A = this chain, B = another copy of it.
Amino acid sequence: MTLPDLDPLLRPRSVAVVGASLTNPTNVGSRTLHQLRRFFAGRTYLVHPRGTGEDTVTDLASLPEIVDLLVVAVPAPAVVPVVAEGARLGIRAALIFTSGFAEGGAEGAAAQAQLQRIAAETGMLINGPNTIGFMNLHDRTLATFFLPPDIELPAAGPVAIVSQSGALATYIDEMARDRGIAPGWLVTTGNEAGVTVTDCLAYLVERPEVAVLAATSEGMRDPQVFVRVATRAAQLNKPFVFVKAGRSAAGRAAAQSHTASISGGDEVFDAVCRQYGVLRADSLEQALDWLSVFQTQRRLAGERIGLLTGSGGGGVMMADVAHDVGLDVATTPPADQELIEQWIPSFGSAVNPVDVTAQAIASGVGNYRRILQTLVHSTGFDCVAVGSGLRGPQAVEVAEKVAATYLETDKPFALTWYSTNQDSRRIMVDAGVPTYQDPTRAIGALGALRRFQEQLGRITEEPVRVPDRARAARARTLLGDDPALTEAASKSLLGLYGLPVVQESVATTVEGAVAAAEAMAAYPVAVKVLSVDLPHKSDVGGVRLGVADAAGVRHASEGILADVAERRPDARIEGLVVQQMAPSGVELVCGMHRDPVFGPVVTVGLGGVLVELFADVALCKAPLTRQHAQSALAEVAGGRLMSNSRGISPDQADAIADIMVRLGDLAVELPEIAEIDVNPLIVSRSGVVAADALVGLS
């Protein structure tokens, strides 16, 4: 996979702006040129037909150099000619602010298609149209118009944020700044005629000054690049936070088969995030909550959290949240308890949550500082969360102590500050203390860090599969012209890919069925009608279970043919299937379907009637590793399928994971197969076996 080098676009050495006004400083182009000229170290040019003066030219061809980046802020009809001219001159990147393209009707869409053609034909990097540009604070490059004209150059922090939506980016910038998050990069992509959110992420993940990635988008244009970015982020130990809008729209994408109906597109995106370690946030606010902790670049050495509160009830709430996010409210080491006890009243607690009581704070903040220090330096805790809130001048005093103590440690730390005193809040935010208004958010952010670190070792690159052409060719002989394979053909196909299936035999007559059962010698058997017209054969009397002997097979076969003839006289009957009765055990469903975005997806969940009742199916993008499959399996039934004594054993889980990997390989090798539904996949003491299967073609 070759990804574009975005240096000319995002780290230009020189910039020309077309569309800045000579007279109106509030025009989009003028505002951008103003911000560029305030801080940018490279050369900037104004291109204007009536322009005169230094670094000003009347047309692109008169530029004294081939600039890296062309900023386009001309009216919509002029955009394509300007960009085409720039490309012709050899300018390698264009940033197009102008709106009214694909988002504004057929004419706009046609113009955008022309821009896409220019990008494809010339390799020009096109950001936009309908973008608000970007800020690269590391290179002091503010290529955007949304900032106040007199804004000071914000500090360049380790966070890089990419947003398709410009308006959301301005919200994010505003809210981030208020929390002391200073994104070193903030890039918007707008209509994405050329460069996409994932292109930018793929570029930024490799930048050494970037330690944390965050992005928001409605769509997902390059799923492969997305997976690549996620694995690179994990390899480089960089948290990658994603906020995807459009969950409800995705939910509407109802699927046809009963497997697909319970795993629409958004569940697939969610599953890919888990599979490749992307931390999906529910909201912009939650993403920013997490970034406050991630930008500190502190890491957990373990899962023990020390809690400090001035309120017993608050401490209990903090402990609840810590438990929810998988942190361990460990007991304060005895030596530290002794230390703390000398600074708190007898009705406080040094155990954990440490409750200093409101009285202890009121009686002076010196001891509060000592207690805080004891907690952050304790060998008993890997991170610390503090909840506090005061009115008046004491708020500032406490804030100073918290900030100073925060800087003494490199343990992850999160503060809940129940105070609207802005001065005190500012002191802590400026010191870099992750500061929140509720422990669900403060400790939730530490929980996101825990989750990031916990999954880090598991994330590997997407597995590469070399198709087995001979096997694929053999498989294709089993696919007919009907939209679905018969059960027998479905099982043969699965058998070809190494899936264990129950023993069975097909007969075209009642006597043939009896002979087949006798030859199989595996009573009790099941007898089923074979017909491509009857996908739900038990509903029409086409199934007899637990048949004990030859006479029984004869009786069952006759009964089936009579019942089916009566209820579905139109159905084409191909014969009868005699089948070894599957062992009894836990019934799973395992399958494959194709997501419009991410392609083949392997599913696993509880089987039988329950698959629909619970809609509790875990997913994996194919191709997949055994570890991916195991992780998905570990999600089924809220983790209870794997951990419960009545669930499945590690050996059985291995066998199921192997089946899932094989289903993924099959999906990659045979794109004409639209979906597979193995239901039930029976997990018993004697192993794992597919008792029934349905394969659908596209």
Binding site for B on A (CB under 8 A): 99-100, 103-105, 108, 130, 148, 163-168, 170-171, 174-175, 177-178, 216-218, 243, 245-249, 251, 282-286, 310-314, 316-317, 319-324, 329, 345-347, 357-359, 389, 391-392, 418-420, 437-441, 586, 606, 609-610, 612-616, 637-638, 640-641, 644-647
Contact = CB atoms under 8 A, between A and B. Distances in A.
Contacts of A174: 389, 391, 418-420
Nearest to A163: B313
A613 to B, nearest CB: 5
A638 B609 contact: no
A103 B347 contact: yes
A321 B616 CA distance: 22
Contact of A319 (B249, B322, B615): B249
Contact of A323 (B100, B248, B586): B248
A612 B642 CA distance: 12
Contact of A248 (B245, B324, B391, B440): B324
A313 B245 CA distance: 7
Contacts of A437: 175, 285
A357 B392 CA distance: 42
Interface centre among A177, A316, A612 (most CB of B within 10 A): A316
A442 B312 CA distance: 29
A257 to B, nearest CB: 15
B283 A316 contact: no
Contact of A175 (B99, B420, B616): B420
Contacts of A285: 437-438, 440-441
B609 A586 contact: yes
B609 A613 contact: no
A346 B638 CA distance: 47
A532 to B, nearest CB: 24
Contacts of A103: 312, 347
Nearest to A643: B613
Contacts of A312: 103, 165, 167, 218
A310 B166 CA distance: 10
Given A175-B437, A285-B437, A346-B100, A166 B358 contact: yes
B99 A167 contact: no
Given A103-B347, A609-B586, A314 B167 contact: yes
Given A103-B347, A104-B345, A170-B389, A282 B613 contact: no
Nearest to A248: B323
A243 B283 CA distance: 23
A345 to B, nearest CB: 7
A175 B440 CA distance: 15
29 contacts: A100-B345, A103-B312, A105-B346, A108-B347, A163-B313, A165-B314, A166-B311, A167-B311, A168-B311, A170-B358, A170-B389, A170-B418, A174-B419, A174-B420, A218-B312, A245-B313, A246-B320, A248-B319, A248-B323, A251-B323, A283-B321, A284-B317, A285-B441, A586-B609, A610-B610, A613-B646, A614-B614, A614-B638, A615-B640
A526 to B, nearest CB: 16
Contacts of A613: 606, 637, 640-641, 644, 646-647
Contacts of A606: 610, 613
The 8 closest A-B pairs by CB, nearest first: A167-B311, A165-B313, A248-B323, A171-B418, A285-B438, A104-B347, A245-B316, A283-B440
A519 to B, nearest CB: 27
A148 B441 contact: no
A51 to B, nearest CB: 25
Contacts of A615: 638, 640
Given A170-B389, A248-B320, 20 more contacts: A100-B345, A105-B346, A167-B313, A167-B357, A171-B418, A245-B313, A245-B320, A246-B316, A248-B322, A249-B316, A282-B440, A283-B321, A283-B440, A285-B437, A606-B610, A610-B610, A612-B640, A612-B644, A613-B641, A613-B647
Interface centre among A103, A310, A320 (most CB of B within 10 A): A320
Contacts of A345: 99-100, 104
A419 B170 CA distance: 10
A361 B552 CA distance: 79
Contacts of A347: 99-100, 103-105, 108, 130
A698 to B, nearest CB: 26
A35 to B, nearest CB: 14
Contacts of A646: 609, 612-613
Nearest to A172: B418
B99 A317 contact: no
A247 B320 contact: yes
A323 B638 CA distance: 24
B313 A168 contact: yes
Interface centre among A217, A313, A439 (most CB of B within 10 A): A313
Nearest to A645: B612
A164 B317 CA distance: 13
Nearest to A585: B609
Interface centre among A251, A317, A346, A609 (most CB of B within 10 A): A317
Contacts of A389: 170-171, 174
A536 B437 CA distance: 51
